[in-house]
Amino acid sequence: MPFDKFFINGSWVAPQGGETIDIINPANEEVIATLPLGTTEDTDQAVQAAKAAFATWSQTSTEERSDFLQRISDGLKAREEEIAKTIASEMGMPLKGALGVQTGLPMRTFASYASITKEFEFESGDGALRIIKEPVGVCGFITPWNYPLHQIAGKVAAALAAGCTMVLKPSEMAPLNAYLLAEVIEEVGLPPGVFNLINGTGPVVGEAIASHPDVDMVSFTGSTRAGKRVTELAAQTVKRVTLELGGKSPNVILDDADLKQAIPAGVMGCYANSGQTCSAPTRMIVPRARLAEVEALAKAAAEAVVMGDPFDPTSTHGPIVHAAQYDKVQNLIQTGIDEGAKLLTGGPGRPENVERGYFVKPTVFSDVRNDMTIARDEIFGPVLSIIPYDTEDEAIEIANDTIYGLSGRVWSSDRDRARSVARQIRAGQVHINEGRTGGAGPAPFGGYKQSGNGREFGTFGLEEFLEVKAVLGW
């Protein structure tokens, strides 16, 4: 792999700076690769390549763009085991999950946009008025480490479908998967300059992308704090910004719910990807009269989790991605104890079966008040807060008492009642009884309030990358 270079204008090119970063396997704390860190000069080179390519790529047919998207999906499929092993090594998800989620979802995203591109109505109207939906231009993508290739695919595939060109800065904590994607893109022959890859830090490359006058749009996924900074910089050139930021998602368990189904599902939802999921249902809001039942079920579910080596088939969950995040999670667990939450299981320190790596004990707190730090802050680790309520109205009030609004869940044996509560939760996506889209296609994903703006995936995700032009006198 050309880990010592960047992919710019269809070629692997040497960086213009000399700084590097070690990529650490979070399960054993060993260095698995060393990558260059980009500069503002590298960023400008990539942006200029994307700008030059836009004139031609934006005019390609939907059939041509669809074909490239399907070929990228097929290219990822051909290398899925390599990609899964790479992601398991760089960010720690167990290999089975890395195959199904971290690799499977990106393949499906590119394939879905291959279909959407052919079906989408880019032009409409007749007579004196024609409405044309055109690509927004050069896009800058700043992506996270928790679902690294999945988050990249949601942006890159939609932008390619729209006819945009782009510069990608993956997370410097888990960038190796992005290099594999660049190799696939090179193999399928995407025209030079359409897709460009630079590794680097947020304060250097990320800010250079957000502030660059020739970048027409920035799509960022990450923390709310960093998203605010991206917005500030982008505002100077009035570019379009979409943000997918933090979450503190509620899981409202109504008093008629099947607890034996709802509680283990809620715990596993909170612990998905070792808690490193922005939409994780980290606040379990439960009827006070059934609190003892909930506590027993949640404790049992948490204690069934096996933290361990991502390549050990007995491991169900892996480590936190890096040392700084591990320390943050440990501090917040201690804060929960200090503020008086009831610790049911877990707590500070590593699980007993591991001696090194950034592993966190699966932790459950009960009797949590919604004004406690662990109920307010996004922890991004395997930490569940159980919050009791007395009335349904109070449950909804607790659910919405947060600066975030990314996701939510409702459990009830009465679907009409669950639908009523789902409508009242202020979030971009709500699951009823763990409901999924099934055959309905990819659901739009994005948040209310400080969880961001804009939507990703499906037709809604494509429209984020389109400008609307009205042509009069057609």
Catalytic positions, written as ranges: 244, 278
Q: What are the percentages of helix, strand and coil residues in the chain, rounded to 5?
A: 45, 20, 35
Contact between 47 and 141 under an 8 Å Cβ cutoff? The reply is: no
Q: Which amino acid is at 330?
A: Q
- Give the C-alpha separation, 209 to 230, whole Å: 9
Neighbours of 302 (CB within 10 A): 23
Q: What is the side-by-side order of every strand in the sheet holding 407-411?
A: 342-345, 363-366, 383-389, 283-287, 250-253, 407-411, 429-432
Q: Write the CB contacts of 209 (distance below 8 Å, at least 6 apart in sequence).
A: 43, 47, 140, 142, 167, 169, 215, 218
- Give the C-alpha separation, 436 to 194, whole Å: 34
Return the closest-CA partner of residue 201 out of 192, 214, 210, 193: 210
Q: Which amino acid is at 380?
A: F
- Give the C-alpha separation, 392 to 6, whole Å: 54
Per DSSP, 317 falls in state: B
Neighbours of 437 (CB within 10 A): 9
**In this structure, what token pair is assigned to residue 196?**
């460009």
Query: Largest alpha-carbon pair distance within the chain?
Result: 73
3-class SS at 402?
A: coil
- Give the C-alpha separation, 270 to 290, whole Å: 20
- Give the C-alpha separation, 149 to 71, whole Å: 16
**In this structure, what token pair is assigned to residue 361?**
């004990």
Backbone angles phi, psi at 168, to 5 degrees: -110, 130
